[in-house]
């Protein structure tokens, strides 16, 4: 079985810039003007990593679902 990723957005710090929606519209959407992952568990997709790396305040966290290892943003 393929490893899945767990995607979370810290909505308390998201400032609604929309960068993540522009980079990975399949994975992020706005809810009350804050980004929210469309699914918590996703198949590996580099666009999710790119979005997490591009968020100006690192509100997006991508982890390996099985181990919790942080995949993005880079620490
Ligand atoms: S890029 Fe970051 S700050 Fe901008 S909408 Fe997405 S999570 Fe929020």
Alpha-helical segments (H) within 1-75: 19-23, 46-54
Instruction: Give the pLDDT score at 75.
Output: 79
Residues of the chain short of pLDDT 70, as ranges, are 1
Residue range of the domain that includes 26: 5-69
- Return the structure tokens found at 55: 């968020």
How many structural domains comprise the chain? 1
Ligand 1 centroid to Cα of residue 2, in Å, is: 27
Residue 9 CA, closest ligand 1 atom number: 7
The pTM for the full model equals: 0.95
Q: Whose CA is nearest to atom 8 of ligand 1?
A: 14
Instruction: Give the pLDDT score at 1.
Output: 62
Ligand 1 centroid to Cα of residue 19, in Å, is: 6
> Based on C-alpha coordinates, what's the Rg of the chain?
11
52 lies in a domain?
Answer: yes
74 lies in a domain?
Answer: no
In the block, tokens 């099985």 appear at 66
Question: Which protein residues are within 6 Å of ligand 1, measured from CB?
Answer: 9, 14-20, 35, 55-57, 59-60
Instruction: Give the pLDDT score at 2.
Output: 75
29 lies in a domain?
Answer: yes
**What's the CATH number where 17 sits?**
3.30.70.20
Planar angle of CA 7, 11, 12, nearest 5 degrees = 140
Planar angle of CA 27, 30, 36, nearest 5 degrees = 55
22 lies in a domain?
Answer: yes
Taking a C-beta distance cutoff of 8 angstroms, is the pair 38, 24 a contact? no
């Amino acid at each position: 079985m393929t490893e899945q990723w767990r995607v979370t957005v810290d909505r308390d710090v998201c400032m609604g810039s929309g960068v993540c929606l522009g980079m990975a519209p399949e994975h992020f959407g706005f809810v009350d003007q804050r980004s929210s992952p469309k699914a918590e568990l996703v198949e590996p997709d580099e666009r999710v990593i790119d979005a997490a790396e591009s968020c100006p305040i690192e509100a997006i966290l991508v982890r390996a679902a099985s181990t919790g290892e942080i995949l993005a943003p880079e620490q």
